[in-house]
Amino acid sequence: MRIPSAIHHVGLASLLLAAGPACAGTGHSAYPVASVQLGPRPFFLVNDMPDGKLQRQLQSCAKSFQHYRVSEFSIGHRGAPLQFPEHTRESYEAAARMGAGIIECDVAFTKDKELVCRHAQNDLHTTTNILATPLASKCSTPFQPAVYDNAGNLVTSAKAECRTSDITLAEFKTLRGKMDAFNPRGKTVDEYMAGTPTFRTDLYSGPTSGTLMTHAESIQLFKKLGVKMTPELKTPVVPMPFDGFSQQDYAQKLIDEYKAAGIGAGRVYAQSFLKDDVLYWISKEPAFGKQAVYLDDAGTPADLPTSSDLKAFKAQGINIWAPPTWALLALDAGNNIVPSQAAKDAKAAGLGLITWSLERSGILADGNNGSYYQTIDAAIHREGDVLRVIDVLAQDVGVMGIFSDWPATVSFYANCKGL
């Protein structure tokens, strides 16, 4: 397979032509993107960087660039969920306006085996308003309030579990998306649902927004926006086959919906954490399989594949490996961010690299920035350091693209560097 170049600019004229009439049943149209609009965040991050060559280069771009273009190096992770409810129409549109050339729909299935965009099959209780609707009674685990002792100490955390497979597609479409969060101390549904971290916002989670989408609807929206598509087949939490619906049926249905929409395989980067899904696509749908993405859910460096494992992936026909960001980065003796051994081994094996996900870790200057920075956290001291991370991933590791919860940051860097 010829691995695509790290960046491919989509002309604004073609993007305008791609923006068409309203999707059926949505009630409003995909906006015509006259130009990429990055907003203030990337420029705030540039100014927050430590003084040095990279900051001066990026500052020069910030001063001289008049127009920014869509870039496939910038991948909208669940859309733009730093501020918009993930996997909603509004989140996807925001990602496209910020220059993401590829946008993700995580794919789960409903009770009637229809495909919908959700990060997990069992996250409706944290990503939608289901608990505040009559559909709450259909949840696998209805809401159970937090329990406190007489002294006010928390004894049992609040909990619930609501699955896409608990409800039909028609029922799913009645829900509204909200920011993915919950409050384990909640004694009421309202308290449980009000857990949004302070670095995010509920400003775009009102009763007239948070529009949920089917997988097929996401395809039509992305087609109109002129972006490429990266659906992730989510690992089911129910035993498979589900009512006769096998894992292979599930993997095939995902591809079939692109074929039905007339989307060529070159516009689709199908993903899965299950290697068997990727191997199925390679075997049964080779046009789609040649750029299918094998996601890696390693939690620590010890969990990463060895050099031999990575060579074996390539021998099986896998062309793109997508580990978390920390897996591709390390620190040298001078505390500089450099490519990890896994990154070097993957490139030596001939694998293309995509990585996930930036701008999910809150305020970086607070330190202790979570799993995404675990191998380099000692070198992360301020918000602008995210641009240093992007620079090493792009220039030294050589990734094809970066998932981000706020695509404008990666889009800015990609435009500035040209790659």
Please report, for the domain that includes residue 207, its CATH number: 3.20.20.190
Q: How far is 180 from 150, CA to CA, in rounded Å?
A: 31
| pLDDT reported for residue 33 | 57
The letter for the amino acid at 96 is: A
Examine residue 287 and state whether it is found in any structural domain, yes or no: yes
Q: What is the mean pLDDT of residues 85-94?
A: 98
SS3 141: strand
Q: How far is 61 from 265, CA to CA, in rounded Å?
A: 34
Q: Using alpha carbons only, give the angle 186, 107, 174 rounded to the nearest 5 degrees.
A: 55
Examine residue 108 and state whether it is found in any structural domain, yes or no: yes
Q: What is the mean pLDDT of residues 344-360?
A: 98
Question: Taking a C-beta distance cutoff of 8 angstroms, is the pair 143, 158 a contact?
Answer: yes
Question: Residue 164's pLDDT band (boundaries 50, 70, 90)?
Answer: very high
Examine residue 129 and state whether it is found in any structural domain, yes or no: no
Examine residue 169 and state whether it is found in any structural domain, yes or no: no
Counting the structural domains of the chain, the total is 1
Examine residue 191 and state whether it is found in any structural domain, yes or no: no
Examine residue 113 and state whether it is found in any structural domain, yes or no: yes
Asked if the model's pLDDT at residue 261 lies above 90, the reply is yes
Examine residue 355 and state whether it is found in any structural domain, yes or no: yes
Q: What is the mean pLDDT of residues 318-344?
A: 98
Mean pLDDT of the chain: 93
Examine residue 303 and state whether it is found in any structural domain, yes or no: yes
Query: What range does the domain containing 342 cover?
Result: 9-120+198-417
SS3 107: strand
The residues pairing with 191 across neighbouring beta strands, listed in sequence order, are: none
The residues pairing with 147 across neighbouring beta strands, listed in sequence order, are: 156
